[in-house]
Amino acid sequence: MKLVILDRDGVINEDSDAYIKTPGEWRALPGSLDAIARLSRAGWRVVVATNQSGLARGLFTMDTLNAIHSKMRRELAEAGGHIDAIFICSHGPDDGCRCRKPAAGLFEDIARRYEVSLANVPAVGDSLRDLQAAVSQGCAPWLVRTGKGLGTLERGGLPPGTQVRDDLAAIVDEWLT
């Protein structure tokens, strides 16, 4: 099974320091939906692992988050692709949970759900915490320059072996050639 783990905000859709709080605020990054569709058509399982502390902060409800994800799935289906599963951390940064990236809980849940080792499974993010969670489970880290990616790259300290590309489309171009 070919599996890829993607962060959501900054990788698939535009990010916002004020959080994505409504379906209307969710806007796909150029080329991201087509990239996921190409992975789907090539037989890859696409999984999203995303921190959504806006839930804990009271900025939106689970119903609203489900509506945001329904919009993402609908637009992706129109592009010919699909996401197999979305794993979320609904906790705030001070909640001490085991699932909020950079903790490994979301990745552990993915490994259990799919009954696979995540060794060398590519994981794409735009922040250091995305990459730290990924490498803690043996994933191959990929950083995009979209979202917070440029700032992450400028601050340095990336895990060894991190591959850096402009965006998700550039990564998928490389994987599928």
Q: Which of 9, 15, 126, 167 is catalytic?
A: 9
Tokens read off for 174: 């490389």
Residue 1's pLDDT is 87
Sheet holding 85-89, edge to edge: 85-89, 44-51, 2-6, 122-125, 140-144, 163-165
Active site residue 9: yes
Mean pLDDT of 42-62: 98
Tokens read off for 21: 């709080």
Amino acid found at 175:
W
Active site residue 7: yes
User: What confidence tens digit (pLDDT) does each residue in 8-40 have?
Assistant: 999 999 999 999 999 999 999 999 999 999 999
Q: Which of 7, 15, 126, 167 is catalytic?
A: 7
d(CA 129, CA 112): 21
For the entire predicted model, the pTM comes to 0.97
Amino acid found at 88:
I
Mean pLDDT of 39-62: 98
pLDDT at position 141 over 90:
yes
Q: What is the CA radius of gyration of the chain?
A: 15
Mean pLDDT of 166-171: 98
- Domain 2-175: CATH superfamily is HAD superfamily/HAD-like (3.40.50.1000)
The proportion of the chain whose per-residue pLDDT surpasses 90, expressed as a percent, equals 99
